[in-house]
Amino acid sequence: MDFIRLTDPAGPEFETAFALYEVSFPVHEQRTRPAQAVRLSHPEYRYMLLYEGDQFQGILLYWEGPGFRYVEHFAIAPELRGGGVGARALAELCSQGIPVILEIDPPVDEISVRRQHFYERCGFSKNPFPHVHPPYRKGFQGHPLVVMSVPGALTQEAYDRFAGYLQNTVMSDCVPPLEE
């Protein structure tokens, strides 16, 4: 599997990848097209296209954080799901000895439970910390997610470092969370 970093929103590769992004995530979990295009130039952001030969297989959008990688969005082309492509991509990402952190929806229905089990089979551990992801767009609230990580669960200190990075770097271009 080849990981190809996308840095230019002008080409057809961005259109193909963004189309998968739009159908794979609910609107409240998406950056707008212009915001995503701007993020491509951030030095810590990796908008990776997944290819096998010349076949586009998916997207893996992650951040090179301080001592960890944060997977912000990960999607495999619908026709390839269930065939091991996602597990192979995550194995490659996790094989480099750098802790990997991602978020999933709370396991409340069959799809979300299956998703959690997929990540557990890939070696991820569920973390016990209450976690709310900030909103990407105006008109939306933050949404509760479950933090998972490799290798093993995070310490409180590691979680706090991740949460600060999420708020201050990853989400710095988005709507700030509402004051309580």
Question: Does 134 reside within a domain?
Answer: yes
Give the pLDDT confidence of 24-72 residue by residue, as tens digits: 999 999 999 999 999 999 999 999 999 999 999 999 999 999 999 999 9
Question: Does 30 reside within a domain?
Answer: yes
Domain that holds residue 148: 2-170
Cα atoms in the 13 Å half-sphere on the side-chain side of 65: 27
Question: Does 176 reside within a domain?
Answer: no
3-state secondary structure of 178: coil
Number of independent structural domains in the chain: 1
| Nearest-10 Cα torsion for 28, 33, 34, 36 | 80
Q: What is the pLDDT of residue 149?
A: 98
Look at the pTM and tell me if it is higher than 0.75. Answer: yes
Question: Does 178 reside within a domain?
Answer: no
Q: What is the pLDDT of residue 11?
A: 84
Average of per-residue pLDDT across 158-175: 91
Question: Does 138 reside within a domain?
Answer: yes
CATH code (residue 148) = 3.40.630.30
Sheet holding 55-65, edge to edge: 2-5, 45-52, 55-65, 68-76, 100-104, 146-150, 125-126
Cα atoms in the 13 Å half-sphere on the side-chain side of 96: 10
Question: Does 179 reside within a domain?
Answer: no
Question: Does 139 reside within a domain?
Answer: yes
Q: What is the pLDDT of residue 175?
A: 57
Query: Is residue 180 predicted with pLDDT exceeding 50?
Result: no
**Chain centroid to CA 19:** 16
Question: Does 82 reside within a domain?
Answer: yes
Cα atoms in the 13 Å half-sphere on the side-chain side of 76: 15
